[in-house]
Amino acid sequence: MTEPAQGKSADNPWPVRSVAMMVKDWIDRLGTVWVEGQIAQLNVRPNSSTAYITLRDPAADMSLQITCPRDLVFNAPVKLTEGTQVIMHGRPNFFVGRGSFSLRVNQIRAVGIGELLARIERLRQLLDAEGLFDPRLKRPIPFLPTTVGLITGRASAAEKDVVSVAEARWPAVRFAIRNTIVQGPSAVPQIVDALRELDAHAGVDVIVIARGGGSVEDLLPFSDETLCREIAKCTTPVVTAIGHEPDNPLCDLVADVRAATPTDAAKRVVPDAAAEQARVADLRERSARALRSWVHREQRTLDQLRSRPVLAQPLAALTARVEEVHRARATARRDITRLVEAEARSVGHLSARLATLGPAATLARGYAVVQIASDSMSVLRSTEDAPAGTRLRIRVADGALTTVSEGSDEAH
């Protein structure tokens, strides 16, 4: 049976020194490298020729241990302090005695303001292309927030300005203050943690991120990509008040409201109680004045309507035409009476004519009507129609007689 290779089983392990040497050999083959970051910690011991630096990545929670000659720190192109953005050239190094890794640096270069501004501009274009600056994403600030979240430096002028101005405008305002570092390599993680905490707070209605003025390097954390994206993810409206009026870090573009100064931020997040009371009083006065004007206008309209003759004396129009109505009625009665009388005379004339021309009048003058006494009771018009023995009915003025025909006189 073949024995396992060394280090591949618990029965044949590598000793520590061997593993450490193999790691060192592998790291030594990496060669030199240029690296950029922020100085998070700088330690130059008085009795040591070596300086120890912690170099942090501004966009991630990662860091490297840097070692370099002490003179390299003192002779750097800029004064090296915590928060300084630098570019270093060095070789990765693994210390087998302690099993630690570091980067042995032989060159240090400062990142110029122009380069910083160019990188901020590139980041601005990237975030803009992703839509983080879209005005449609801006959330409105509540008129009167229950609690204002405030992220600022401890005992800073920005904190004093925001709190004092807000309380002067609205004495009942409440704050949830989170003090953080506002510059340097540790600023972004602390601000992001405070922002997440306040955004999750149910009582916080608006969050203010405030900082006083400073140099471009001092305000770099507020153009950090991580902070900008965290502001964009917040569900609570965010107001930024970074620096002075000319300062414009990238977080101002992502925030829902950009205030020129911390004082301006306080004015934007809470209303002015005195101004609101004055506005309410003015609105009450204007509404009362408008109501009085409306009542007076309607009263004048009613007075005008009541002053019109048709409403002042509603029966005057009828009274003025009473005589005309009486005349019309008398004329109508006269015309109707005259018409009735004329028609009555016409009826009388026609009745007289009818009586004169009628059969009764003729019979009264001595005439008679002779009818054949049969079912048809036809009038006798010829002697031939009444031969002897024909029963006849003779009608005279005062009645009728029945007789029997004896025939024509010529027959006798």
Whether 76 and 192 share a structural domain:
no
**Global pTM value:** 0.52
pLDDT recorded at residue 196: 93
Query: Is residue 317 domain-resident?
Result: no
Residue 326 pLDDT exceeds 60 = yes
Q: Locate 66 and state its tokens.
A: 């840097």
- CATH value at residue 263: 3.40.50.261
Average pLDDT over residues 338-349: 92
Whether 182 and 70 share a structural domain:
no
DSSP H stretches of helix in 261-321:
262-269, 273-307, 309-312, 316-320
Categorise residue 275: left if φ over 0, alpha if ψ from -120 to 50, beta otherwise: alpha
Kindly report the average pLDDT of the chain as a whole number: 85
Whether 248 and 376 share a structural domain:
no
Whether 182 and 148 share a structural domain:
yes
Whether 132 and 229 share a structural domain:
yes
Query: Is residue 203 domain-resident?
Result: yes
pLDDT by residue (tens digit) across 245-258? 676 888 999 999 99
- The structural domain count of the chain equals 4
pLDDT recorded at residue 23: 87
3-state DSSP call for residue 42?
strand
Query: Is residue 178 domain-resident?
Result: yes
Single out the residue in 210, 243, 271 at which a domain terminates: 271
Cα 354 to Cα 357: distance, rounded to the nearest angstrom: 5
Query: CA 199 → CA 131, 207, 229, 250, distances in Å?
Result: 21, 8, 14, 20
pLDDT recorded at residue 3: 62
Whether 266 and 121 share a structural domain:
yes
Query: Is residue 99 domain-resident?
Result: yes
Name 115's bridge partners.
none
Whether 46 and 73 share a structural domain:
yes
Whether 30 and 105 share a structural domain:
yes
Are the C-beta atoms of residues 153 and 159 closer than 8 Å to each other?
Answer: yes
Whether 23 and 102 share a structural domain:
yes
pLDDT recorded at residue 289: 93
Percentage of residues of the chain with pLDDT beyond 90: 29
Whether 41 and 61 share a structural domain:
yes
Query: Is residue 315 domain-resident?
Result: no
Domain enclosing residue 253, as ranges: 117-271
pLDDT by residue (tens digit) across 283-321? 999 999 999 999 999 999 888 888 877 777 777 777 778
Nearest to 208 by CA among 234, 232, 240, 179: 240
- CATH value at residue 62: 2.40.50.140
Single out the residue in 271, 296, 325 at which a domain terminates: 271
Whether 65 and 39 share a structural domain:
yes
Read off φ and ψ for residue 144, nearest 5 degrees.
-135, 95
Confidence of residue 115 (pLDDT cuts 50, 70, 90): low
Query: Is residue 91 domain-resident?
Result: yes
Long-range contacts of 342-351 (CB under 8 A, 24+ apart): none
Please provide the distance, in angstroms rounded to a whole number, between the alpha carbons at the two ends of the chain.
192
Q: Locate 397 and state its tokens.
A: 């003025």
Query: Is residue 375 domain-resident?
Result: yes
Residue 411 pLDDT exceeds 60 = no
Query: Is residue 328 domain-resident?
Result: no
Cα 267 to Cα 274: distance, rounded to the nearest angstrom: 13
Single out the residue in 111, 146, 169 at which a domain terminates: 111
Whether 254 and 276 share a structural domain:
no
pLDDT recorded at residue 21: 87
Percentage of residues of the chain with pLDDT beyond 70: 96
Lowest average pLDDT, out of 108-112, 191-195, 225-229, goes to 108-112
